[in-house]
Structure 1
């Protein structure tokens, strides 16, 4: 009788447990958006800015993850998990993953970086986000910061903007070609800019729809007629983004470029910044500028992101203009100096500090405003960091995009602090250790539990 009662109790208890499990499962399934983020760095908790952007999204958005065997699986997993969080919070977002190797048609259609790219598209609009742009190296080996949420939320917000700003890159004076600044160009296009090349010798004028004129890395001077066209353009609502190149004869051959900068009280000191050896990672011609306090550099300072400049021309502002106040945003240390013997520097790659050199600290970049505090120009002493092979390092790309955003008074810039990523931990195992772990987890421990369970069952059966 007692055995029958114990058996009945066990059956009832089992049915109760199963019933509770079913009820809990139904409840959890009915609350699809209920989740608790228990991760150390809150990697699944979206910011208020993102939540608001997703709440305001009322158009269908298709997000594609395009990867290949060159994509780091750890990086891919974090990006995919982020997109899945966005998808959960707005039913208008669809998400698909494609392998560019297995699906070459997708590779041909989108022509993206095989290391991994997110494509955010809605109707005819497309925004591209490279995987590596979402990850910022940390201070120690293996550490990183994940800024994917900021990049993806900004892309979604830009999809709602129908008007594109027209910006033109001047060519014909040894500037860095647009096809060597693809990463910056892609970033500008994702930020809703329409990028075009402009050769004044061919076009004969600066287009009426030009909102910003870019002159990036000129090694030769502009002509007198070109200078007149640019002056007329700037006397109106035109804006200028000038980043100097290098020419050992700049002191005598850059008459019009110098005059253009002088309009905004910026003086070309005809010297190249030399910084005594700061690190074994780069030479004295590579400068890691200190930031002046400004909206362009504030986020870079907060995230401890550095900007790198090579062959940077030193700039001055000895006679400030009341009409066009200028603010220095890139500076060297007081140990730096400006090498004025440019021929020796170019011919022999050598620099010897002497009395004729410009004493540090030196200024390498200015922003210029109007009397009404409206952005008018960004003038930089260097341009090499815009090239594809350099711009992805540290904060170069962020500085490039931030400075354009400031010049265009972008009020909808998204600022979301990157999440600190845990340093990747690697365990190095010998072959015997790997075999021990395998046989222990697959054979020994399961067999041990089976033997113990069988012994207990046999003992109770006999009792």
Structure 2
């Protein structure tokens, strides 16, 4: 009788436990938005800015992830998990995942990076994010910072913008063509800029809708008539973004380019910056500038992202113009110098002498009006805008930040990147791997079976 009662109690208790689990499962399933983030770095907790942006999202948005066998699985998982968090908070977001190797037709539709690309589409608008831009190096070897939320939320904000800014890239003076700056072009289009080439010899004027005139890497001078047109444009609300190129005869052939800088009190010193033995990873002509205190460089400093410049021309503002205050944002170390003998430099026989300009050298300025409104960005180098260089370190962020400052972007999203621990790898031998395999599949299950069977037999006999 007692055995029958104990057996009945066991059955009732088991049914009660099962019932509790069923009820708990139904309850949790009914509260889909309820979650508790127990991860150390709160990797699944979205910021207030992101939550606000998702709530205000009115239009359907399609997330398209394009990856390949070159995409790091850990990086892909991080991005996928972030997308799922966005989808939980707004049903208007849908996503699809494509392998560009197995589905090459999808890769042809977009400017794809094999390391991973995320495309956001809403109606006729499109934003492209690269996985590599979402992961920043950490303080220690192997550590990283994940800025995916900031990039993705900024893309959603831009996707909802109603207007676009028209900017023109001057051509006809051996500037860097737009088709060699695709990454920057894509980034600017993602920030709601509409880009176009402008050849003043053909057009005769700067279009009325031009909000900024870009002069990127000119190697020959601008003509007198073109200079007159540009100066007329700059007298009004026009803005200038100029990044100097390289010409061995710049001291005698850049009269009008020098004149454009001089109206803001900036002088082209016609010297190439050299940083002796700054690092074994690059040559002395590649400069890692120090940042001046400014909104353009603040985030780069906070995230410890460097900017690289090659064949950079030294510029200086020792005779300021009262109407246009300037601020230095890029400069070399004290050890650098400006090589004035370009012929000697090109023959690889350069050496510091009394004719050279002593460091530190200034390589970048921003110009404001008397009303403290942005007017111009002036850089001594332009090579880092080219695709293969722009994707290194903080080059792309600097390029986009500087344009954003010039255009007084009001909807800039700032979300601190999440710290990620260094990836840990365990190196084991083949015999150790076999021990783990057989122990997991056979030894441990057999041990539990023997122990459980022994206990069962003892209770049965008792």
Q: Structure 2-normalised TM-score? A: 0.98
Q: Partner residue of 2:435?
A: 436
- What 5-or-longer segments of structure 1 have no aligned partner? none
How far residue 304 of structure 1 moved from its aligned partner, in angstroms, is 0.9
Structure 2 CA distance for aligned equivalents of residues 46 and 237 of structure 1: 39
2:125 is aligned with 1:125: yes
Q: Which consecutive residues of structure 2, in runs of 5 or more, have no partner in the other structure?
A: none
Moved more, 172-181 or 405-414: 172-181
Partner of 2:271: 271
Tell me the residue number matched to 1:145.
Answer: 145
Match of 1:17 in 2: 17
**Does structure 2 conserve the Cα–Cα contact (< 8 Å) formed by 1:315 and 1:381?**
yes
Work out the CA distance in 1 between the residues paired with 2:9 and 2:181.
Answer: 75
Q: Deviation of residue 229 (structure 1)?
A: 1.1
**Counterpart mapping for 1:390-405 below 5 A:** 390-405=389-404
What pairs up with 1:411-426 in 2 under 5 angstroms?
Answer: 411-426=410-425
Query: Matched residues in 2 for 1:273 and 1:42: separation?
Result: 44
- Partner secondary structure for residue 415 of structure 2: coil
- 123-132 vs 195-204, greater mean Cα deviation: 195-204
For residue 349 of structure 2, give the secondary structure of its aligned residue in structure 1. coil
1:454 maps onto 2:453 in alignment: yes
Aligned equivalents of 1:315 and 1:360: distance in 2?
Answer: 11
Counterparts of 1:309-320 in structure 2 under 5 Å?
309-320=309-320
Q: What corresponds to 1:322 in structure 2? A: 322
Name which of structure 1's ranges 433-442 and 277-286 shifts more when overlaid on structure 2.
277-286
**How many residues are matched?**
462
**Matches of 1:333 and 1:108, distance apart in 2:** 44
How far off is 1:325 after superposition?
Answer: 0.7
- 1:95 aligned to 2:109? no
Q: How much is the aligned-residue C-alpha RMSD, in angstroms?
A: 1.1
Q: Distance in 1 between matches of 2:431 and 2:400?
A: 52
Runs (4 or more) in structure 1 with deviation over 4 Å come to none
Q: Distance in 2 between matches of 1:350 and 1:262?
A: 31
Tell me, in whole angstroms, the C-alpha distance in 1 between the residues paired with 2:287 and 2:440. Answer: 54
CA-CA distance at 1:69 after TM superposition:
1.6
Structure 2 distance, partners of 1:41, 1:350, is: 52
Once residues 113 and 305 of structure 1 are traced to their aligned partners in structure 2, the CA distance between those partners, rounded to angstroms, is: 21
Q: Deviations over 1:160-186 (max 9, x none)?
A: 112111111111211111111111111
How far off is 1:251 after superposition?
0.5
Alpha carbons of structure 1 residues 335 and 111: separation in structure 2 relative to 1, 3 Å: closer
Conservation of the 8 A alpha-carbon contact between 1:249 and 1:343: no
1:156 corresponds in structure 2 to 156
Offset from partner CA, 1:153-208 (integer Å, 9 cap, x none): 00100111121111111112111111111111110010101111112222222111
Aligned pairs for 1:340-359 (under 5 A) are 340-346=340-346, 348-359=347-358
Mapping 1:28-39, distance limit 5 Å = 28-39=28-39
2-side partners of 1:454 and 1:56: how far apart?
60
Query: In 1, Cα distance between the equivalents of 2:234 and 2:155?
Result: 31
Equivalents in 1 of 2:374, 2:423: separation in Å?
43
Q: CA deviation at 1:415?
A: 0.8
Deviations 1:306-351 (A, max 9, x none): 11111111111111111111110111111211111111112x1232
TM-superposed CA distance for 1:111, in Å, is 4.3
Q: Is the 8 A contact 1:164 1:194 kept in 2?
A: yes
**Partner Cα distance (1:339, 1:114) in 2:** 40
CA deviation after TM superposition for structure 1 residue 148, in Å: 0.6
SS in 2 for 1:247: coil
User: Could you tell which deviates more after superposition, 135-144 or 237-246?
Assistant: 135-144
Q: Which residue of 2 aligns with 1:227?
A: 227
Correspondence list, 1:45-444, <5 A: 45-346=45-346, 348-444=347-443
Whole-angstrom distance in 2 between the partners of 1:203 and 1:140: 53
Question: C-alpha deviations, 1:366-402, integer Å up to 9, x for none?
Answer: 0001111110000000111111111111111100000
Give, in whole Å, the separation in 1 of the partners of 2:357 and 2:51: 51
1:118 to partner: Cα distance: 0.6
